[in-house]
Amino acid sequence: MRIAYLECFSGISGDMFLGALLDAGVPFELLQKTVAELNVGATLEMLRVDRGGISGTKLDVIVDGEKDMPREEFWAQNAHPHEHHSAQERTAGPSASLRFGRDDKREGLATAGEAGSRGERLEHEDGPVHSHHAPSRRLSEILKIISAASISERARQTASDIFLALGAAEAKVHNVAVDDIQFHEVGAADAIVDIVCAAVGAEALQVEQFVCSPLNVGSGTVSCAHGVLPVPAPATLELLKGAPIYSGEIQKELVTPTGAAIVKVIVSSFGPCPQMTVEKIGYGAGSRNFANHANLLRISIGDTQAAAKPSHDAGGHVAEEEIAILEANLDDLNPQLIGYIVERALSENALDVFTTPVQMKKNRPGTLLTVLARLEHEERLRALLFRESSTLGVRTRHEKRYALARRHETVATQWGDVRMKVASLNGAVSQYAPEYEDCRRIAAEHHVPLKTVMQEAIRLYLDRQNG
């Protein structure tokens, strides 16, 4: 299985994640094209920088030609940010919508009137701030922008999920409805660019799973528009529920809300680096250069068998692993919801999901929903079934699964690269097939019949084998 491992020894933010993706080989042109198609007045700037003696990639978003301003410089110029509001702005009241900082690097909460009058960009201690007048957008408006973006359906869903996670965390922390939140900074052009590019770049890695180390969240406090907050800030900590975190010696905020939301949405499991064959490595740089600490996010990409072990009965060519099988009987659920659950389970790293028609008590037709999963994903998928379906119970059992050894080979079609999944038995190729998602993406982008793309990929693979 092809995975990406994130090492968050210096935390994670949106720009660090993008820098790591670029450093690992994601084309800068891909992100530039994505930004241009968003048409939000933004451009990208990529720099090679040094952090603790290690070279990394730093990515900045430039909005309307405006450069970033260091956070401490902004606060030095705005020491009394509440003294210049009109009476209407000062009395906006608790029902006014909230705003919080774009990814990097940390939010300042303010009423709609306050944020609109200042127009500042408040960020984490380790990052810059913008002084431009950012627009206010509701979550529904942001989702429309993402929906209209010329990107794949998978990237579109990932970007939407990141914004939804951010909104849900802020809504809970501040006890307001998500629909009442206005994203003055997260909704601004630079944040939309960060999050959409993160989704597009993550997909471009063509990995099946993201795994993450424990996260160094930093320590101390962070100054925001409404005072001083502990590190990690409340919304960040809410997003990191279920993830292993720790505090190091750095007295700064190292994990930002967007960084936490990216982890929440794309990461499947946490822990030490699994056994893997590393193919690519990337370093994404933060804004500051700490003394005796490399302010970097490292990403390693490679292949792993994920707890599989050789089976002696199969001569070492068949992998044996223990998997979880989760089942639930459904007889009172809208079939449309069942289709949605299947899609969500697959996106949560289920190995397979299928349904079987069954006859249940009181002669009611029903559906048996079956989910196959690796043991590390069992708990998350069981929670998904309870949350999204009407079932009152989920049956679970563990069984052995034997799988042929497999690898990926890439063929270059006239429309783009397609990965071929190749399986072997006793050292000889026994099965081969083009990756559906690669062919589907090419077919959609180039308006070519899907079957034509798949047939061409198979032809090229066989030509190579017979050549």
d(CA 173, CA 170): 5
Phi/psi for 254 (5° steps) reads: -100, -30
In the CATH scheme, what architecture does the domain 407-466 have? Roll (3.10)
Q: Full-prediction pTM beyond 0.75? A: no
Residue 188 has a pLDDT of 66
**Superfamily of structural domain 314-402:** Transcriptional regulatory protein pf0864 domain like (3.30.70.1380)
Residue 427 has a pLDDT of 72
Residues in Cβ contact with 412 at an 8 Å cutoff, skipping those fewer than 6 apart: 460
SS3 of 18-81: the string is HHHHHHCCCCHHHHHHHHHHHCCCEEEEEEEEEECCEEEEEEEEEECCECCEEHHHHHHHCCCC
DSSP β-bridge partners for residue 215? 245
Residue 312 has a pLDDT of 40
Residue 388 has a pLDDT of 92
Closest of 131, 99, 129 to residue 112, by C-alpha: 99
Peptide bond just before 232 cis, omega within 30 deg: yes
Residue 264 has a pLDDT of 93
pLDDT in tens, the chain (467 residues): 789 999 999 999 999 999 999 999 999 999 999 999 888 888 899 999 999 999 999 999 888 776 454 433 343 344 443 333 322 222 222 222 334 333 333 333 332 222 332 233 333 334 444 444 455 677 888 888 899 888 999 999 999 999 999 888 988 888 888 877 776 544 467 778 889 999 999 999 989 889 999 999 999 987 765 678 888 988 899 999 989 999 988 889 999 988 999 999 999 888 888 888 899 999 999 988 888 899 999 999 998 754 444 444 434 456 778 899 999 999 888 888 999 999 999 888 899 999 999 998 888 899 999 999 988 888 889 999 999 999 999 999 999 888 887 788 899 999 999 999 988 877 788 889 999 989 999 999 999 999 999 999 999 999 988 87
Residue 222 has a pLDDT of 78
Q: What are the residue ranges spanned by the domains of the chain?
A: 1-304, 314-402, 407-466
Residue 225 has a pLDDT of 57
Residue 326, phi-psi category: left (phi > 0), alpha (psi -120 to 50), beta (remainder): beta
Residue 155 has a pLDDT of 93
Residue 226 has a pLDDT of 60
Query: CB of 181 within 8 A of CB of 171?
Result: yes
Query: What sign does the CA torsion over 94, 108, 11, 210 have?
Result: positive
Quick count: other Cβ atoms within 10 Å of Cβ 351?
18
